[in-house]
């Protein structure tokens, strides 16, 4: 395995990770508490476009990641099902 590092950005902060690191590794290098929240499923990692990505996604130099809160959509769906049929 190479000892080479690459620079990626997590929530606007540059961090250096080893070549071959995952998105979760990059978050861990930025903030261990946030990495724990991603692993627990309470936060999501998104790409530079705001689209969710898997935490196992391999990073490349210059990757841009953002963290967002995971929202529970089950409550919204349950509210719709309580409506009477028209």
* CATH assignment at residue 27: 3.10.20.30
User: In this predicted model, what pLDDT tens digit does every residue of 23-71 receive, in sequence order?
Assistant: 999 999 999 999 999 999 999 999 999 999 999 999 999 999 999 999 8
Asked whether residue 64 is domain-assigned, the answer is yes
More confidently predicted of 37 and 82: 37
Residue 81 has pLDDT above 50, yes or no: no
**Model confidence, pTM:** 0.80
What is the count of structural domains for the chain? Answer: 1
- pLDDT average, residue stretch 8-21: 97
Distance CA 82, CA 35 (A): 36
Asked whether residue 83 is domain-assigned, the answer is no
Residue 75 has pLDDT above 80, yes or no: no
Distance CA 24, CA 36 (A): 9
Tell me which residue range forms the domain holding 31. 5-70
């Amino acid at each position: 395995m190479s000892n080479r590092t690459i620079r990626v950005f997590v929530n606007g902060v540059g961090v250096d990770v080893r070549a071959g690191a995952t998105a979760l590794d990059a978050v861990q290098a930025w903030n261990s508490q946030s990495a724990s929240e991603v692993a627990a499923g309470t936060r999501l990692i998104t790409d530079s476009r705001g689209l969710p990505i898997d935490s196992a996604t391999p990073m490349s130099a210059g990757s841009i990641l953002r963290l967002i809160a995971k929202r529970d959509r089950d409550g919204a769906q349950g509210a719709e099902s309580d409506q009477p049929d028209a």
